[in-house]
């Protein structure tokens, strides 16, 4: 199985897949190649399933489609849209039921915003308690180019499109912005703080870079 090997000063081995299905192994500097490839073989079933999920996601140049069987990324997984006799979007397992009378994605967009706000509030509360850094307010952002931000007044803004991302990636963005309460810049001290809270933050940051097109998926 083809893969890209990246060696850093990290202590553990981790595998990541980008939206094209490219596999990257991030390994400690002195870890033997044989050990890395043995680990990849052990994870082959996970890799194939992850590739299959990624294949269902809309491509960067595509818009979300309002039709039966269309795919919608959600918390790192994929929901299937199904038009049926419901009054509003309703989640049923891995299927999002949407009104058959809907003329556009407005109802789906609103549903995603509601779910995003609920999820962000819970995660911000839990992570704030964990790292002892608390924002003053939380707002949902529709920004086209930023996953999150922290104002000097303590307002934490999280992009609505984060709801498409895996939970651990969402946690990274939240932690990143909370750390700006202590360090309102991207100094060495700031990144040291982020790493102390999330040692593998670089993997999450790389995932966001490779999947940046998700931020504009609802913008068409």
Mean pLDDT confidence for 117-144: 95
> What is the domain range of residue 160?
104-216
Residues 190, 115 within the same domain: yes
Q: What is the pLDDT of residue 54?
A: 66
- Record the tokens describing residue 29, joined without a space: 């500097």
Asked whether residue 85 is domain-assigned, the answer is no
Residues 209, 111 within the same domain: yes
Q: What is the pLDDT of residue 53?
A: 67
- Tell me the backbone φ, ψ of residue 5, rounded to 5 degrees: -105, 125
Q: What is the pLDDT of residue 211?
A: 83
Give the residue from 18, 35, 56 where a domain finishes. 56
- Under the banding of pLDDT at 50, 70 and 90, the label for residue 61 is very low
The answer to whether 131 and 140 are in contact (CB under 8 A) is no
Q: Comparing 154 with 218, which gets the higher pLDDT?
A: 154
For 68-84, the pLDDT digits (tens) are: 888 888 998 888 899 99
Asked whether residue 165 is domain-assigned, the answer is yes
- Under the banding of pLDDT at 50, 70 and 90, the label for residue 63 is low
Q: What is the pLDDT of residue 3?
A: 87
> What residues does 25 pair with on adjacent strands?
5, 15
**What mean pLDDT, rounded, does the chain reach?**
88
- Record the tokens describing residue 154, joined without a space: 């303590």
For the chain, give the DSSP string. Answer: ---EEEEES-SS-EEEE-TT--EEEEEETT--HHHHHHHHHHTHHHHHHHHHHHHHSPPTT-----STT-EEEETTEEEEEEEES-SS-EEETTEEEEETT--SSHHHHHHHHHHHHHHHHHHHHHHHHHHT---SEEEEE--SS-SEEE-TTSEEEEEGGGGGS-HHHHHHHHHHHHHHHH-SS--HHHHHHHHHH-TTHHHHHHHHHHTGGGGGTTT-
Give the residue from 56, 80, 96 where a domain finishes. 56
Q: What is the pLDDT of residue 36?
A: 92
pLDDT at 220 over 50: no
Asked whether residue 92 is domain-assigned, the answer is no
Mean pLDDT confidence for 103-125: 93
Asked whether residue 88 is domain-assigned, the answer is no
Distance separating alpha carbons of residues 213 and 211, to the nearest angstrom? 5
Positive or negative: CA dihedral 151, 152, 156, 162: positive
What's the structural domain count of the chain?
A: 2
pLDDT at 60 over 80: no
Q: What is the pLDDT of residue 52?
A: 74
Q: pTM (2 decimals)?
A: 0.74
Asked whether residue 158 is domain-assigned, the answer is yes
For 33-57, the pLDDT digits (tens) are: 999 999 999 988 888 877 776 666 6
For 166-208, the pLDDT digits (tens) are: 899 999 999 999 999 999 999 999 999 999 999 889 888 888 8
Asked whether residue 116 is domain-assigned, the answer is yes
Mean pLDDT confidence for 2-28: 82
**In which residue are the tokens 């307010």 written?**
137
Asked whether residue 75 is domain-assigned, the answer is no
- Under the banding of pLDDT at 50, 70 and 90, the label for residue 105 is confident
């Amino acid at each position: 199985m083809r893969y890209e090997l990246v060696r850093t000063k990290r202590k553990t081995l981790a595998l990541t897949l980008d939206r094209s299905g490219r596999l990257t192994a991030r390994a400690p500097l002195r870890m033997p190649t044989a050990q890395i490839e043995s680990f990849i073989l052990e994870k082959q079933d996970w890799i194939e399933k992850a590739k299959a999920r990624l294949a269902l996601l809309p491509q960067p140049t595509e818009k979300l489609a309002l039709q039966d069987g269309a795919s919608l990324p959600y918390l790192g997984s994929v929901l299937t849209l199904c038009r049926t006799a419901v009054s509003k979007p309703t989640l049923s397992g891995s299927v999002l039921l949407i009104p058959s009378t809907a003329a556009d994605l407005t109802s789906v967009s609103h549903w995603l915003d509601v779910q995003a706000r609920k999820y962000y509030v819970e995660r911000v509360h839990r992570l704030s308690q964990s790292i002892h850094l608390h924002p003053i307010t939380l707002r949902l952002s529709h920004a086209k180019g930023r996953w999150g931000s922290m104002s000097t007044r303590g307002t934490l803004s999280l992009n609505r499109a984060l709801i498409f991302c895996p939970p651990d990636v969402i946690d990274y963005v939240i932690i990143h912005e909370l750390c700006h309460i202590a360090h309102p810049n991207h100094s060495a001290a700031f990144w040291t703080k982020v790493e102390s809270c999330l040692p593998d933050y670089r993997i999450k940051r790389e995932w966001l870079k490779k999947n940046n097109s998700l931020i504009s998926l609802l913008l068409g």
